[in-house]
Structure 1
Amino acid sequence: MKISIRRGQSEDARILFRLASQYVTGRESITRDEFTIALDNILRYREQEANVLFVAELLGEVVGYSLLTVSRLLHAPGLTAHLQEIVVDEKHRKQGIGERLMEANEHYCMGRGVRQISAMTSHIGNFYNGRDFQPIGQHYRKILEIG
């Protein structure tokens, strides 16, 4: 099975929107218009690239993606990365696609001198546990009303 990983592009918008709809967070889903604005912002070039979008293809079909944010923190030396999202299409899970996306993120980080990758999850802790991630805290969220 040939899984290829590449950087996401605006041409991937339709399938990425469908995949993003599978990312369950316990709050309302993103609308197509909101998604289009977010994707445009994520793909915009920046000198100190903050967002890294990888897509996974299986036989030429996009079947997963990951979104990584690279930044500096005040409490940690060097660059830090946070895996914001990793999604594999429901019908293609357990085929090594998530593993390949993680490898791409780690390779990217090592090439940039990133010292730490973090991720939060409430659903698939076993995915991270098998990749040498260590649980270090709890995640809290507050949804704000706008307007």
Structure 2
Amino acid sequence: MSISIRRGKAEDASALFGLARQYQTGREAIGRDEFSVALDNVLRQRDQETNVLFVAEEDERVVGYSLMTVSRLLHAPGLTAHLQEIVVDESARGHGTGDRLMEANEHYCMGRGVRQLSASTARIGSFYNHRGFEAMGQHYRKLLDLG
């Protein structure tokens, strides 16, 4: 069982839609039309690439993806990246797919000179819950050693 990582493309839409519906963080899952608009935007070429979509395949079947944005922030020098989404199909979890996707994102960042990669997770403290927030994430970052 070999896991390969590659850039996402329009032909992956059906598989990615199924995975995106597994990710669901809002009150309702994304619909097909909204997903199509989002995927088109993610895949659109720009002068300064801001969206990076990686797809994980196992035996030629899409089993995961990650979506990262690369940008400049006003408070940090240079390029930064934020891992917006990382999803591994429920049937493929526990085989290293998530690790491989993370490695692909880190490698991409280091190749572009990105020093900070941040990510969010679905954990949040009672401080925010008490104030009417819904648990959506906790912010983490990893400083990358560019050598």
Q: Is the 8 A contact 1:17 1:32 kept in 2?
A: yes
> Aligned pair count?
126
Mapped partners of 2:122, 2:69: distance in 1: 19
Moved more, 96-105 or 20-29: 20-29
Identical-pair percentage = 73
Q: Is the 8 A contact 2:20 2:87 kept in 1?
A: yes
One-letter code of the match for 2:25? T
One-letter code of the match for 2:36? T
Bigger share in strand: 2
- The residue number in structure 1 matching 2:87 is 87
Q: Is the 8 A contact 1:88 1:97 kept in 2?
A: yes
Task: Give runs of aligned pairs for residues 23-42 of structure 1, distance below 5 A.
Answer: 23-42=23-42
CA RMSD of the aligned region, Å? Answer: 1.3
TM-score by length of 1: 0.83
Structure 1 residue ranges (4+ consecutive) displaced by more than 4 angstroms after TM superposition: none
Mapped partners of 1:41, 1:26: distance in 2: 20
Task: Give runs of aligned pairs for residues 1-147 of structure 1, distance below 5 A.
Answer: 1-122=1-122, 135=140
**Unmatched 5+ residue regions in structure 1?**
124-133, 137-147
